[in-house]
Amino acid sequence: MRHLLIYDMIEAVHRSGSIRKAAEDTNITASALNRRIQAFEEEFGSEIFERLPRGMRLNPAGELLLHHIRLQRQDMARVHGQVADLSGIRRGQVKIACSQALLPYFLPREISKYRAEFPDVTFTVNVRDRIQAERDLVSFESDLALVFEPAHLVDFEVLHAVHQPVMAVMSAAHPLADRDSLRLRDCLEYDLVLPASQFGVRVLLDQSAARLGRKLEPVLETDSFDMVRHFASYGQGIGFQIPVGLDALARPDMAFVPICERDVSGGELYLGHLRGRTLPVAALKFATQVCTALSQQVSM
């Protein structure tokens, strides 16, 4: 499959923006790499790079070619997975873009469960916000996305969706910890630790506060849900998260109380992939397992 080698070289030049740097990355000389690219362009019948004073970048023909290269790679990965299936061996890599809430408990548990049955499958998990996750799917950086309240659904094929209420997160000693549910106005009387504005939970909270004619004024704002939980556990502060990222048994020092959906309507946790893409076998099997796990979580 010698054509894949020149594809690697083209991608290396695209990533680095220069022949010299790409040559270092691909372990050949700059002059040899330049000859390879020029020979490919001649055979291809069109230049694919713009030669700039300070480097190189793909022209429109190159952008189309790069998309074709990525499609070929995912098709090859799918065929490899199918061949592995024929021999009764599950191999491959599953690449996942996910919201932070999936990291502490849900995804580690599901990946461990999957690998107990198919130990030759490896995983890559990258934390992405709602917009970045869909970009990862489009660029084939991820096979699956598991995100809360995606901002865009144009290229997103939904495999499963599960409703997630917004939970107030606080110390078990907090005055509101023994409530069965909370109104948002109750929480606003205490110090707030809030996720940053790009997160779905924050979007829902901001919308709800605006309907009440209030503005959220956090004492701490962070892009880390670990920080939200830890800060709230130390005092009178209240944080917010969705249930999939919480485990009462693992944190007996904390209380997790749902916010009344008349105030904050909650949102959807979506599992999906790039619309129109045929997933590699390992990714498809893992997606099926995750769908089952999400369904069971709702029924618990």
Q: What is the pLDDT of residues 193-242, one digit of tens each?
A: 999 888 889 999 999 999 989 889 999 999 898 899 899 988 889 999 99
Q: What number is the average pLDDT over the span 105-130?
A: 92
Domain extents for the chain? 2-66, 90-162+268-299, 166-265
* pLDDT given for residue 85 in this prediction: 60
166-265 shares the fold of 90-162+268-299: yes
290 pLDDT band, cuts 50/70/90, is very high
Share above pLDDT 90 across residues of the chain, in percent, rounded to a whole number: 50
The architecture that CATH gives domain 166-265 is: 3-Layer(aba) Sandwich (3.40)
Q: What number is the average pLDDT over the span 251-260?
A: 92
Q: What number is the average pLDDT over the span 177-203?
A: 91
pLDDT digits (tens, 9 = 90+) for 4-30: 788 889 989 999 998 999 888 888 898
Fold classified for 2-66: Arc Repressor Mutant, subunit A (1.10.10)
* pLDDT given for residue 86 in this prediction: 53
Distance from the first to the final alpha carbon of the chain: 50
Sole residue written with tokens 């249930």: 243
Sort 298 into a burial class: Cβ within 10 Å, 0-12 / 13-18 / 19+.
exposed
**Overall size of the chain counted in residues:** 300
State which amino acid sits at residue 290.
Answer: V
292 pLDDT band, cuts 50/70/90, is very high
Q: What is the homologous superfamily of the domain 90-162+268-299 according to CATH?
A: Periplasmic binding protein-like II (3.40.190.10)
Q: Is the pLDDT of residue 131 over 50?
A: yes
The helix, strand and coil proportions of the chain, stated in percent and rounded to the nearest 5, come to 45, 20, 30
On whether the CB atoms of residues 162 and 298 are closer than 8 A, the answer is: yes
Name the token pair of 171: 């110390």
